[in-house]
Amino acid sequence: MAYQNRFFFFLLMIITFLSSLILFGGISEVLTSSPRISNVVPEIEKPWYWINKLKNPDHILLSPEAIKKMNEENLKRQDLHLFRIKDLKEDWKREEVLQFLEEDWENFLNVQERRYGEREVSLGEPFWNGLKNRMDQESFQKQGRLIYALTVKRTDIRVFPTEEPYNRALRDELDRFQHASLSPGISVGIYHLSKDKNWAYVQSNFIRGWVHLHDVAMAKEKMEVTDYEEKKDRLVVTGNLIHVFKDPSFQQLAFTAQMGDHYPLLEFPGDTSKTKSYYVISIPFRDACGDLTLREGYIREDKDIHIGPLPFTQKNIALQAFKMLNHPYRWGDKGGGKDCSGFLWSLFRTFGIEMPRNSKEQAKIGIGLGLVRGKTIKEKQSLLDQASPMVTLLRSPGHIMLYLGKDKGQYYVIHSVWGIQTANKSGPKFEKIGRVVISDLDLGNKGSNGSLLDQVTDIRMIGIPPEFTK
């Protein structure tokens, strides 16, 4: 019997591994689960457990018009660092772009601790000098013109033009040179190219940094990018990850799209043929010269997608969030993972809500429940009792979570978390989690930093159910 149990265990592990590879379509991450979080039983890892607790889960919290208005208002706020690429000015002075580069440089130059790169080698002066040389600041003309482009594959956006990781401590797995990742079909403005012409210095709608030049296709006219971005009929990816193919027979993979990605919709299943079983979308393609062309992409009819954004309801938020349960954590969404703010960014995009990428800025969206910093645990619990599940964001320094609600006296969240500090007889200890999980807010209470609730500094709601306005 023991032999059979071991056999089936190993068989299950192999099946999980293979299915994860198929799911990611080349993304080098595997969806595996670390040991279960304390105070979390299987039934609360199901979205309907929490949906059934809600009074009116199908109530529309924000209409499409209200979401559009909120997005427009947030774009005007400088503290959120949100951009619309079509609104960027086309002509840039040399000094302006150099100032951007200098700001990026100063943010890292001011870090005093020793820094490590690949193979745990300390990053010394030769590395930094070589990096600055690669940025090719000497080639700037007095005035340059912004080049408009679309990403053609999932690409990392880096602080500097290098794949070298930057870790603040030996054996630190968080690459601080990683800003975020950009999905295929994201519009960017290109300011400058690296000396080797392998990297482009770009502005995306939420971050500025460097991407591989071969991951973007450059438009000859601004209109090519703005027209693509503003097509009204769009297909929204509502599954965690789905495949987009180059051909209607699904033999050639174009790329893997993630939750929240959306593309111009060209044809519905059955539009021109009763036997057609796929959606046709417009996808960007980079030709041999690096120029932008648009081609047809194909998505199976039965995939987890939606025509236009989902209705913004508590039920839909819960269903979407739980689709990402156990997705691997990676700082800056590197390698197909999701960090805490990347998790929320993907989630809210399915409803047409454009979120900042940084957790500190995400916690400025919506309506605050009053001053939180410095309050006692009981005072924070009292605020949570007033908060609406599924639409409430809880932030602590460097981390952000989605509030699920209260169960058996405990307050629960879903979040992508790298790990927590615990303690044992020998002193503080770091326990890696490394995935999207359900946890209560007591998590980490044995560490020197206190529990998650101890660390919460901001509580904000995005859209309020009617029972919370009475």
Instruction: Say if residue 119's pLDDT is above 80.
Output: no
Rounded-to-integer distance, Cα 182 and Cα 157, Å:
7
The pLDDT of residue 36 is 72
Range with lowest mean pLDDT among 9-18, 121-130, 385-394, 426-435: 9-18
Contact 54, 391 (CB under 8 A): no
Q: Which of 170-179, 234-243, 289-298, 423-432 has the lowest mean pLDDT?
A: 423-432
What value does the mean pLDDT take over residues 182-201?
97
> Position of tokens 């979407």?
320
Give the integer Cα–Cα distance in Å for 309 and 235.
Answer: 8
Q: Are 321 and 259 in contact (CB under 8 A)?
A: no
HSE (side-chain half, CA atoms, 13 Å) at 253: 12
Task: Identify the pLDDT of residue 406.
Answer: 97
For Cα atoms 408, 410, 412, give the angle at the middle one, nearest 5 degrees.
115
Mean pLDDT of the chain, nearest integer: 89
| Rounded mean pLDDT, 31-54 | 84
Spell out the residues 6+ positions from residue 205 whose beta carbon is closer than 8 angstroms to its own. Answer: 82, 83, 84, 85, 186, 187, 354
pLDDT at 227: 97
What would the mean pLDDT of 54-80 be, rounded to a whole number? 96
Is the predicted pLDDT of residue 260 greater than 70, yes or no?
yes
468 pLDDT higher than 50: yes
Averaged pLDDT for residues 84-104: 94
Q: What percentage of the chain exceeds 90 in pLDDT?
A: 73
pLDDT-derived band at 121 (thresholds 50, 70, 90) equals confident
State residue 29 phi and psi, 5-degree precision: -130, 150
pLDDT in the model for residue 170 = 59
**354: three-class secondary structure by DSSP:** coil
437: enclosing H helix or E strand? strand 427-440
Indicate whether 17 pLDDT > 60: no
pLDDT value at position 25? 38
Mean pLDDT confidence for 440-445: 93
pLDDT band for position 276 (cuts 50, 70, 90): confident
Q: Looking at the predicted structure, is the pLDDT value of residue 106 above 60?
A: yes
In SS3 terms, 157-172 reads as: EECCCCCCCCECCCCC
Please choose, from the candidates 47, 58, 52, 48, the residue with its C-alpha nearest in 3D space to the C-alpha of residue 465.
58
Tell me: pLDDT of 431 over 90: no
Q: CB-hemisphere CA count at 13 Å for 150?
A: 26
Give tens-digit pLDDT for 282-322: 999 999 999 999 999 999 999 999 999 999 999 999 999 99
According to the 3-state scheme, what is the secondary structure of 126-168? Answer: HHHHHHHHHCCHHHCCCEEECEEEEECCCEEEECCCCCCCCEC
Whose CA is closest to 404, among 396, 395, 393?
393
pLDDT, position 26: 38
**Dmax of the chain from CA atoms?**
77
Q: What is the pLDDT of residue 115?
A: 73
Of residues 325, 320, 311, 441, the one with CA closest to residue 372: 441
Return d(Cα 402, Cα 421) in angstroms, integer: 20
CATH topology of domain 234-283+292-307: SH3 type barrels. (2.30.30)
Q: Where are the alpha helices (DSSP H) in 39-124?
A: 47-51, 64-75, 94-109
d(CA 263, CA 423): 47
Question: What is the edge-to-edge ordering of all strands in the sheet holding 305-307?
Answer: 253-258, 241-245, 292-300, 278-286, 262-267, 234-237, 305-307
Work out the average pLDDT over 211-234.
97
pLDDT score at 274: 60
Residue 1 is predicted with a pLDDT of: 47
- Relative orientation angle of helices 314-323 and 340-349, to the nearest 10 degrees: 130
Instruction: Give residue 427's pLDDT band: very low, low, confident or very high (50, 70, 90).
Output: low
Q: What are phi and psi of 23, to 5 degrees?
A: -60, -45
Using alpha carbons, select from 181, 189, 193, 263 the residue that is nearest to residue 219: 189
Residue boundaries of the structural domains of the chain? 1-25, 33-62+312-468, 82-228, 234-283+292-307
Other Cβ atoms closer than 10 A to 63: 12
pLDDT tens, position by position, 314-372: 999 999 999 999 999 999 999 999 999 999 999 999 999 999 999 999 999 999 988 89
Residue 13 has pLDDT above 60, yes or no: no
Q: What Cα–Cα distance (Å) separates residue 436 from each residue in 97, 401, 446?
A: 37, 10, 21
CATH class of domain segment(s) 33-62+312-468: alpha beta
pLDDT of residue 5: 46
How distant is the alpha carbon of residue 364 from its chain centre?
17
Q: Give the pLDDT confidence score for residue 3 in this predicted structure.
A: 44
- Spatial CA neighbour of 309 closest among 234, 242, 244: 234
- pLDDT of 29 > 50? The answer is no
Whether 145 contacts 299, CB under 8 Å: no
pLDDT of 414 > 80? The answer is: yes
